[in-house]
Amino acid sequence: MTIDSMPAVRTGEPPAPSGSPAPVRPERPTWRTRLTRADMRYSPYLFVAPFFVVFAIFGVFPLVYTGWVSLHDWHLIGDHTFVGLANYVELFADPDFWNAVANTFGIFLIATIPQLLVALMIANLLNRALRARTMFRMGVLVPTVTSVAAVGVVFGQLFARDVGLVNYLLTSIGIERIDWQADRLSSWIAIATMVDWRWTGYNALILLGAMQAIPRDLYDAASVDGAKPWQQFWRITVPLLRPTLVFVVIVATIGGLQLFTEPVIFGFGRMQGGTLGQFQTITMYMYENAFQRFQYGYGSAIAWTLFAMVVVISLLNVAVVRRMVRGAR
């Protein structure tokens, strides 16, 4: 598949240097043209090389090692024996794993969809001629800066059963207090709130960066044609943002399916995700197995399965986004 959707982007054809239109010229090429040709042929590889060199040094070994471990019955600080795909077989029949999968997807859905819509709206607001623009932009990004310790304490205070601010407000308008941790849905909502609080501004900023590349004259022309701001937003801004939207959706998918920090904070640092595992995510289950039960092989199998799931879901999401954004045009 191609990630992009912009017509300007090429797919992987054989290198046809864009600058020189012609096939081989009759005259003998000068050293200069040869240099230019070499530049166009090889410099793309030089440009992407630094990333891949660093990745080869620091990224490949952990990835391969984890895959190798996942084929073993591997005690974290003890023995290991090769078991082939037995960990994966066991995993697919493990109800606790599927419970974690359901939780992860549930939280992902109720957190990510509103998050991206709100981020888009915030970015649009911040893209206008505002007073105190820097202040607003800084404000939006503050949650990303806030330390995990502070987030934990503040949200602990918000969603505590007896002393929580949210329950205080609920009871003052006559609604029964909620034991946020106890139920599946209430715990998901609380965690989704934390996730959205932390990451909406982050996505808004990325979208804002892309919005600023949209030429103003497009809007001016639309205004002349009598298009209302909302029409301009859907007809100009959103379609032109498509590459960045695709990016944000993939990043949100990766982050959402690897959700870890927020539910761990919500569960007072424990990996079980509530008394019945009602908010245990896949990554928490992976961590619990590898580092608390010391079943490193099983934990690695979870990691690779999660990796595969992220790939599949990202592809699906990209397809959906492309369809939706095209529909809006």
**Which residues, numbered 258-297, are part of the site for another protein (CB under 8 A)?**
258, 260, 268-269, 272, 274-276, 283, 286-287, 290-296
CA gap 61, 72 in Å, rounded: 17
Are 108 and 297 spatial neighbours (Cβ–Cβ below 8 Å)?
no
Q: How far is the CB of 297 from another protein (least distance, A)?
A: 11
Q: Binding another protein by CB under 8 A: which of 39, 102, 231, 319?
A: 39
Residues of span 18-37 touching another protein by CB under 8 A: 18-19, 36
CA gap 288, 53 in Å, rounded: 33
Are 300 and 75 spatial neighbours (Cβ–Cβ below 8 Å)?
no
Residues of span 82-101 touching another protein by CB under 8 A: 96
Q: Assess 107 for contact with another protein (CB under 8 A).
A: no
Q: How far is the CB of 245 from another protein (least distance, A)?
A: 9
- Per-residue b/e over 111-127, b at no fewer than 16 CB within 10 Å? bbeebbeebbebbbebb
Q: How far is the CB of 28 from another protein (least distance, A)?
A: 19
Choose one: 104-112, 170-178, 301-309, 321-329; the region binding another protein (CB under 8 A).
301-309
CA gap 81, 320 in Å, rounded: 43
Q: Binding another protein by CB under 8 A: which of 175, 209, 323, 329?
A: 209
Q: Assess 112 for contact with another protein (CB under 8 A).
A: no
Q: Where are the alpha helices (DSSP H) in 70-94?
A: 86-92
By C-beta, is 61 or 82 nearer to another protein? 61
Closest CA to 211 of 131, 135, 124, 136: 124
Are 296 and 221 spatial neighbours (Cβ–Cβ below 8 Å)?
no
Residues of span 140-169 touching another protein by CB under 8 A: 140-151, 153-157, 160-165, 168
Sequence-separated (6 or more) residues with CB below 8 Å from residue 72: 80, 81, 82, 83, 87, 297
Residues of span 170-189 touching another protein by CB under 8 A: 179, 181-182
CA gap 118, 201 in Å, rounded: 9
Q: How far is the CB of 310 from another protein (least distance, A)?
A: 4
Q: How far is the CB of 176 from another protein (least distance, A)?
A: 13
Give all strands (DSSP E) within 192-265, no chain letters.
none
Q: Assess 235 for contact with another protein (CB under 8 A).
A: no
Are 16 and 36 spatial neighbours (Cβ–Cβ below 8 Å)?
no
Q: Binding another protein by CB under 8 A: which of 137, 187, 252, 322?
A: 137
Q: How far is the CB of 110 from another protein (least distance, A)?
A: 18
Residue 130 DSSP symbol: -
Q: Assess 2 for contact with another protein (CB under 8 A).
A: yes
Choose one: 22-30, 97-105, 106-114, 245-253; the region binding another protein (CB under 8 A).
245-253
# of chain residues touching another protein (CB under 8 A)? 135
